Chain A
Amino acid sequence: MSAEVAMKRNLGRIYALQAKTEFLKVWRLPMYAIPTLAFPLMFYLLFAVATNRGTGQAATYLLATYGAFGVMNAALFGFGVGIAVERGQGWMLFQRATPMPPLAHLFGKLVMATLFGALIVLILSAAAVTLAGVRMPVGTWLALAGTLVSGAIPFAAFGLAVGYWAGPNSAPAVVNLISMPVSLASGLWFPLQMLPSVIRKVAPFLPPYHYGQLALGRLGLGEDVPALYSVAFLAAFTVLSLLLAWIGYRRDEGKTFG
């Protein structure tokens, strides 16, 4: 009977609706949508367009790093703050009482973060082409965009962990406190060569550094780090984050008091 009943649900429709719901939910939330979309563009206009008029190289470089910064933040905030807030509301508890497929919720959030990531890459690329005169072959741009957008995965996983460990009110602060300094130290705001040597020594231990290097590598502007090593580093970071999220989830389950 269970198989028969389960068959009658349209799983594809559940996943599609879950994704639509997650997207609409944050799209209508100015607190999320505006900073997520506007900050990377603002930084890019300020540092790539306004100060580097005419030098295509810097504007190309910063397209990769601010793209990485934007996608990373969309995933960190979407997951970290989103999960923490929904836990606080009891929405997650309610969803667990329904027959929602267990991964549908995470799938929906991942689609949402990926869509925001893609939107950020498109906006930045449009600014790069029209305002900073950046030119590159379509194939190169597609490779860059693909690398940038898939960066949503490791940071979504880390956001998930933050969401299960932080409270609904502290989550935005926690995400900001981690994201800001780490982005800077990983060379996502300014090229690493411009930063003090202490930071340059720390950077290779930070996940966003490897993410940034993978994106820059698509443009031939990366440092001397093997791409495979960066991918492995980010994969390990993803697994570790998921593990941390799982422990947080179990801890949450045991704590729920009634």
Chain B
Amino acid sequence: MATKVYMEALSPTMEEGQLVQWLKAEGDEIRNGDVIAEIETDKATMELIARGDGILRKIFLDAGGVAEVGAVIGVIAPADEDTSGIQGASGSASPAAEASAEPAVAAPAPAAAPVAPAATPAPPAQEAVAPVATSGRVKASPLAKRLAEEMGVDIARVSGSGPGGRIVKRDVEAAKSSGIAAPVAAPATWASDGVEFEDIPVSQMRKTIAKRLVTSIGPVPTFYLTMDIDMGRVMEARKSINGMLEKDGMKISINDIVLKATAAALRQHPNCNAQWHDGFIRRYNSVHLAVAVAIEDGLITPVVRNAHAKGLVQISTEVRELAGRAREKKLQAEEYTGSTFSISNLGMFGIHEFTAIINPPEAGILAVGGIEDTPVVVDGQVMVRPRMRITMSCDHRVIDGAQGSRFLQTLKGMLEEPTAILL
């Protein structure tokens, strides 16, 4: 009865072994228990013992050879037995060994995976702004979020009294009773059918946004300038202007005024109204303002051409019309290209301050926060004033700190005394 000599697992972690030397030769008599070879394992050199009696009829693995655990490396059999049918099976485990060479217990069927990541929520597309840089994450307790949903309160409009502005239950309850009940955006849902995740294909628009803005943050040496503006006079101006427009059924927004002031200020600081190109800076004499608009699945920046030369009403009308067509994805290419400066306003989300990412090849972008009643010191007295924070991102290759600061000073002056825009 022939006995196959296997490459044995001589250490628990061994997967293959190297034959160091045979201690018996073909033709030698072998007794069960004799040491017949030395095998180098992953841990040490170990002895291989014979498991049968007979003659060592055939060696399939020479000294120095390597074989996987379970490979047949020799045959011991009586001299007269026909062993031609036994092959050295290098590398493959014996058929019997294969079954149990696999790890033993099959993993028990897992319970249904409890949650799946949310499908991305549609942002509330109420006004002409969109997140360009920092995402507008609302800090709220899980309970507050749930209650807001149940009560029909737009949590983005609730101001939080918890640490770090966290919105908590009492804030939602207060908001409900004071009537901030705008329809809530489609909430994130947990899929409960056991699906672990869902892949959402990236749209062309999203690819473009990604590509372009990655090329901005990457190579553009950006610095940021922040300024607080007292918006009291702008608010009065708006009221007064809207009073005049009432008979035409028209209304302008704070943002329209900000756009107009920005265009006027840029006229006075053309080095901020410029573009970086390979080898030269292009300074524009006209101001073509890109206004960030949130649309389903992303953002687009329609351009108000020659904003410096347009009146407030015209700017307002154009922005509204462009934004509307932007949302319907009906903008022509020339309507969202060719801008010299960009502006983004997240104030209506309750954003106090943010930094926007420059749209290359432009040299600057203005990020406008919301107007908040803020205690400030005026002539040594503490007063509450409506304040707005703007942050300008500047490409240092084109705009220096002083230049950007001077532009902002001009802009601040215009907003704090809007009649300066007329100059």
A and B part of one assembly: no
Q: Chain B interface (Cβ within 8 Å of chain A)?
A: none
